[in-house]
Amino acid sequence: MANHKRTLITSALPYANGPLHIGHLAGAYINADIYARFLRAKGEEVVFVCGSDEHGAAITIRAKLDGITPQEVVEKYHTTIKKAFDDFGISFDIYHRTSEPLHHETSQAFFKQLNATNKFIQKESQQYYDPEAEQFLADRYIKGTCPVCGNEDAYGDQCERCGSSLSPTELINPKSTLSNATPELRATSHWYFPLNDYEAWLKEWILEDHPNWKKNVYGQCKSWLENGLQPRAMTRDLDWGVKVPVEGANGKVLYVWLDAPIGYISATKQWAADHGKNWEDYWKSEDSRLLHFIGKDNIVFHCIIFPSLLKAHGGFVLPENVPANEFMNLEGRKISTSKNWAIWLHEYLEDLPGKEDELRYVLMANMPETKDSEFTWKDYQTRVNSELVATLGNFVNRVVVLTNKYFEGEVQAITGAELNEVDNNAVKELAEFAGKIDADLEEFRFRDALSTMMDIARLGNKYLGDREPWQLIKTNEAATANVLNIGLQIAANLAIAMQPFLPKAAGRLVAMLNLSETNWNQIGQAFVPGGHQIEKGGHLFSKIEDAVIEAQIQKLQGSIQEETPEVELKHPLKSTIEFDDFVKIDLRVGTICAATPVPKTDKLLMFTVDMGFEERTIISGVAKHFTPEDCVGKQVCVVANLAPRKMRGVESQGMILFAEDDEGKLIFVSPQAGTQNGSVVA
Ligand SMILES: [Zn+2]
């Protein structure tokens, strides 16, 4: 299958501005780790790199919140994050950091090369400046009222309440978070990368050459490309980051999304230097394969922006695949750092020490591979107890304990005359696992691969149940020896197949079975020889009690920090919709130019609404609230793309918006006087 000689695997660089939670692990780390371990088990050449992203306004803002310096922030969280990865067995070959001098040199050289070959456009723009703090403000340094939902704490790039992406100039009453001053617009000059120039190439490279990319990834790229690309500023006015290495760029640093992916290159360089290898084998050689593991929020940076930068620079390989995951939710809500709705990895290990593989297992089984998925503590308990304990652990324990009990831990050679059909079938079924997990993993189907691994345990469990060696021993010792031999072959297969998924438990099983050297290609084979001595048994996993789960659920519920206090609502909030659902609604401004009662009803009014581009007839059930005279001349908001509906023989072509107060009184939702008819409300 492989037309590559070696593989470079990258996982998204986490921001060193907070600890990691389960959503991080499920998004871009466990899957990459499984893949790296799988390739290593097969004996392939692979390097798995990652590191802390220590630049960007997210770091400086954290520093300000915590009252410490940015350097102190990244020291603290780099350490916390690195430890969490180690604890959960994420097997990076190097975990680097973007504050390393090597990274600064590497990204500056990259920038210089692009600048020297005229790949940037230098452009002046108006940007908010804090006159008191005497500095330009990154988007995140500006807060104000969201023009969409009215949230007074919206950021310059995004409103976290309604999810709208914003630009700072859209905020109402903008304030600098540095000094609380009202920022003023001033001219500043930046280096822009003309992404639009790469559109045609990207269309060919992604849409034509990589139809095999995961649907969620391919679809998001396609929609970006269809909407058209714009030049992007690659520099920022900020005092924390990689300094722009050209003249006239004082006080400017590289845009964090230019510098962060170059972090993969500098991490590889450091690893190569540490191990006497050549980093260019991985980045500049055609027989090398590059894979980026990321969450869906990073797709545009890894599929569109970074490849275009690599292409503009020249000489680098491009990603062969970007198997991005969607998001994992928690107990019915989005994971939220600011609301503390999360399971933090370091806290998990404090509460459930030694249960790293259990969490890996549940996150893998629910991995958001193709759509958002969900973690619940009940599901965690069920999966651990019924799958890891009752199926996998129980099977292994029975084989090992019985082999010790009946044969002093020695694997007995098969007595051919005593084999029956059930024995032969079990061996045959085991053989069918050869190459099966490989096929799933090669296509990045991690959930399927995990389930195939568990099928080996299911086979073992069923086989023991069918043959009942604890009964058979009373009548036929040779047949019992055969059953335990075959059972051990299945357990030994598991010890290999578990390695990418449950590395710690696999290690315990390898030790229990006393297997010295194993390799991935043994899967499917009965490779443990007669006379082999195994160790004493033990439980690979232990049951999770109800009280533990209850405590976790209570802890989670108790730690949530709601942004607004709970209030009794007469009209409870409807369930959350996606931004994509919201933008489907076409809201327009119109003026009511005529209103008449609809005959034979006391509820309906028929309006003629001037929409600017056409007149619409709209029927509303508001005759008890307004007289026709109340309405004529009113400017209103109209749902302009609602499917037409016939009422009393008349077609209603839209819907007028009203606000209803707690007393049930209706008020027109009107824009400011003098708004042009047909204006889009968004
Ligand atoms: Zn908003």
Q: Report in angstroms the alpha-carbon separations of 50 from 23, 285, 464, 603.
A: 17, 20, 43, 65
| Topology adopted by domain 118-237 | Methionyl-trna Synthetase; domain 2 (2.170.220)
Give the architecture-level CATH label for domain 585-681: Beta Barrel (2.40)
Three-class SS state of 370: coil
Q: Tell whether the model's pLDDT for residue 527 goes beyond 50.
A: yes
How far is ligand 1, taken at its centre, from the CA of residue 155, in Å?
9
| 105-109, 393-397, 419-423, 593-597: least confident range | 593-597
How far is ligand 1, taken at its centre, from the CA of residue 156, in Å?
11
How far is ligand 1, taken at its centre, from the CA of residue 161, in Å?
5
Q: What's the CA gap between 223 and 166, in Å, rounded?
A: 19
Predicted pLDDT of residue 567: 40
Q: How confident is the model at residue 570 (pLDDT cuts 50, 70, 90)?
A: low
Q: Report in angstroms the alpha-carbon separations of 634 from 525, 607, 609.
A: 80, 11, 10
Phi, psi (5° rounding) for residue 476?
Answer: -145, 95
Both tokens assigned to 675? 């708004």
How far is ligand 1, taken at its centre, from the CA of residue 257, in Å?
24
Predicted pLDDT of residue 1: 43
Both tokens assigned to 121? 């456009």
Q: How confident is the model at residue 565 (pLDDT cuts 50, 70, 90)?
A: very low
Three-class SS state of 174: strand
Predicted pLDDT of residue 564: 45
Give the contacts of 571 (CB within 8 A, at least 6 positions apart).
660
Mean pLDDT calculated for residue range 542-557: 96
How far is ligand 1, taken at its centre, from the CA of residue 170, in Å?
11
Q: How confident is the model at residue 551 (pLDDT cuts 50, 70, 90)?
A: very high
Give the contacts of 425 (CB within 8 A, at least 6 positions apart).
none
Give the architecture-level CATH label for domain 6-110+255-325: 3-Layer(aba) Sandwich (3.40)
How far is ligand 1, taken at its centre, from the CA of residue 147, in Å?
7
Domain definitions of the chain by residue range: 6-110+255-325, 118-237, 374-522, 585-681
| 297 or 203, greater pLDDT | 203
How far is ligand 1, taken at its centre, from the CA of residue 637, in Å?
19
How far is ligand 1, taken at its centre, from the CA of residue 137, in Å?
20
How far is ligand 1, taken at its centre, from the CA of residue 601, in Å?
40
Mean pLDDT calculated for residue range 495-507: 97
**% of the chain exceeding 70 in pLDDT:** 98
How far is ligand 1, taken at its centre, from the CA of residue 157, in Å?
11
What distance lies between CA 18 and its chain's CA centroid? 16
How far is ligand 1, taken at its centre, from the CA of residue 640, in Å?
22
Q: What's the CA gap between 318 and 321, in Å, rounded?
A: 9
How far is ligand 1, taken at its centre, from the CA of residue 394, in Å?
52
| 451 or 64, greater pLDDT | 451
Q: What's the CA gap between 192 and 88, in Å, rounded?
A: 40
How far is ligand 1, taken at its centre, from the CA of residue 682, in Å?
11
| Topology adopted by domain 374-522 | Isoleucyl-tRNA Synthetase; Domain 1 (1.10.730)
Is the distance from CB of 518 to CB of 510 less than 8 angstroms?
A: yes
How far is ligand 1, taken at its centre, from the CA of residue 295, in Å?
23
Mean pLDDT calculated for residue range 519-535: 97
Q: What's the CA gap between 106 and 382, in Å, rounded?
A: 48
Find where tokens 């324990």 sit.
397
Q: pTM for the complete prediction?
A: 0.80
Q: Tell whether the model's pLDDT for residue 573 goes beyond 60.
A: yes
Both tokens assigned to 150? 């009215």
Q: What's the CA gap between 515 and 520, in Å, rounded?
A: 13
How far is ligand 1, taken at its centre, from the CA of residue 239, in Å?
29
How far is ligand 1, taken at its centre, from the CA of residue 145, in Å?
8
How far is ligand 1, taken at its centre, from the CA of residue 151, in Å?
5
Both tokens assigned to 372? 């958002």
Q: What's the CA gap between 215 and 211, in Å, rounded?
A: 9
Q: Report in angstroms the alpha-carbon separations of 207 from 296, 366, 404, 567, 648.
A: 18, 29, 58, 49, 50
Q: Tell whether the model's pLDDT for residue 554 goes beyond 70.
A: yes
Q: What's the CA gap between 374 and 397, in Å, rounded?
A: 31
Q: What's the pLDDT tens digit per position in 532-543?
A: 999 998 899 999
How far is ligand 1, taken at its centre, from the CA of residue 112, in Å?
39
How far is ligand 1, taken at its centre, from the CA of residue 259, in Å?
29
How far is ligand 1, taken at its centre, from the CA of residue 503, in Å?
44
How far is ligand 1, taken at its centre, from the CA of residue 177, in Å?
18
Q: Which of 480, 365, 497, 489 lies closest to 434 in space, CA to CA?
A: 497
| 196 or 633, greater pLDDT | 196
How far is ligand 1, taken at its centre, from the CA of residue 591, in Å?
26
How far is ligand 1, taken at its centre, from the CA of residue 146, in Å?
5
Q: Where are the alpha helices (DSSP H) in 583-664?
A: 628-631
- Find the Cα–Cα–Cα–Cα dihedral 501, 502, 508, 510, rounded to 10°: -10
Q: Tell whether the model's pLDDT for residue 495 goes beyond 80.
A: yes
Q: Tell whether the model's pLDDT for residue 63 goes beyond 70.
A: yes
Mean pLDDT calculated for residue range 423-445: 97
H-run or E-run covering 615 = strand 615-620
Q: Report in angstroms the alpha-carbon separations of 237 from 129, 196, 579, 645.
A: 10, 23, 30, 53
Q: What is the mean pLDDT of the chain?
A: 93
How many other C-beta atoms lie within 10 A of the C-beta of residue 479? 19
Q: What's the CA gap between 261 and 216, in Å, rounded?
A: 21
Q: Report in angstroms the alpha-carbon separations of 114 from 230, 265, 282, 340.
A: 18, 16, 21, 41
Q: What's the pLDDT tens digit per position in 353-390?
A: 999 999 999 999 999 999 999 999 999 999 999 999 99
Q: Tell whether the model's pLDDT for residue 410 goes beyond 90.
A: yes
How many other C-beta atoms lie within 10 A of the C-beta of residue 414? 18
β-bridge pairing 45-52 and 94-97:
parallel
| 264-268, 412-416, 580-584, 585-589: least confident range | 580-584
Predicted pLDDT of residue 566: 37
How far is ligand 1, taken at its centre, from the CA of residue 658, in Å?
20
| 640 or 600, greater pLDDT | 640
How far is ligand 1, taken at its centre, from the CA of residue 681, in Å?
14
Give the contacts of 433 (CB within 8 A, at least 6 positions apart).
452, 455, 456, 493, 497, 523, 524
Predicted pLDDT of residue 2: 53
How far is ligand 1, taken at its centre, from the CA of residue 199, in Å?
31
Mean pLDDT calculated for residue range 594-623: 89
Predicted pLDDT of residue 562: 65
Both tokens assigned to 199? 């559109």
Is the distance from CB of 450 to CB of 458 less than 8 angstroms?
A: no
How far is ligand 1, taken at its centre, from the CA of residue 651, in Å?
34
How far is ligand 1, taken at its centre, from the CA of residue 162, in Å?
4
CA angle 133, 135, 138 (to 5 degrees): 110
Q: What share of the chain is helix, strand, coil (3-state, %, to 5)?
A: 45, 20, 40
How far is ligand 1, taken at its centre, from the CA of residue 168, in Å?
13
DSSP-assigned letter for residue 330: E
How far is ligand 1, taken at its centre, from the CA of residue 160, in Å?
7
| 96-100, 212-216, 579-583: least confident range | 579-583
How far is ligand 1, taken at its centre, from the CA of residue 579, in Å?
11
Three-class SS state of 163: coil
Q: Tell whether the model's pLDDT for residue 569 goes beyond 50.
A: no
How far is ligand 1, taken at its centre, from the CA of residue 167, in Å?
12
| 645 or 254, greater pLDDT | 254
How far is ligand 1, taken at its centre, from the CA of residue 577, in Å?
14
What distance lies between CA 417 and its chain's CA centroid? 55
Q: What's the pLDDT tens digit per position in 77-105?
A: 999 999 999 999 999 999 999 999 999 99
How far is ligand 1, taken at its centre, from the CA of residue 668, in Å?
22
Both tokens assigned to 218? 């391919």
Predicted pLDDT of residue 306: 98
Predicted pLDDT of residue 64: 83
| 218-227, 575-584, 600-609, 661-670: least confident range | 575-584
How far is ligand 1, taken at its centre, from the CA of residue 584, in Å?
17
How far is ligand 1, taken at its centre, from the CA of residue 372, in Å?
23
Three-class SS state of 321: strand
